[in-house]
Amino acid sequence: MNSIQPVRCARTILSSIILAILLSGVAAPTARAQETPSHPIDDMMGRCTEQNPSTHGMIACIREAEQRWDAELNRSYTKLVLLTTPDQKAALKLSQRQWIGFRDAELANLDSLYAGAQGTQYLVELTYDRKELTKRRALDLEELVEMYLASH
């Protein structure tokens, strides 16, 4: 066995531990998590992954959460479009188009990074990372809706 094998093995074990922590909701809270209670979509995903702990099951649960976050993103975006002035709408639409470009580039980056990874946990991690991109944008847009409503 060459010297790289133990490093890969350690990384694989560490990645598995980190993923288990993330999926269990025990990870150290981020600034946003400290500000807001858990979201029903995250709660659903947690229950789903507990009931379906296989790689296939976890991926299906995470994809379902991603679809729900995408629906939240679209709801918040639509609210903002309806609430804002024409100039604000134009800025919002430009921002959203640019975010979509970023998202697509980031997904291509993640696909590339995970392409050579060995082991099925990387499939779960890739799916989770993809979901997190959509979740972050959905939460950002919802914060903008709340800010706009509070200021008008």
Considering the entire predicted model, what is its pTM?
0.74
The whole-number pLDDT of residue 36 equals 57
Q: Is 109 left (phi over 0), alpha (psi -120 to 50) or beta?
A: alpha
Digit-coded pLDDT (tens) for 47-99:
999 999 999 999 999 999 999 999 999 999 999 999 999 999 999 999 999 99
Are 49 and 58 a contacting pair, CB within 8 Å? yes
CA 142 to chain centre: 15
148: confidence class by pLDDT, cuts 50, 70, 90: very high
* Both tokens assigned to 7: 């490093």
DSSP letters for the chain: --THHHHHHHHHHHHHHHHHHHHHT-SPP-HHHHHSPPPHHHHHHHHHHHH--SHHHHHHHHHHHHHHHHHHHHHHHHHHHHHS-HHHHHHHHHHHHHHHHHHHHHHHHHHHHHHT--STHHHHHHHHHHHHHHHHHHHHHHHHHHHHHHH-
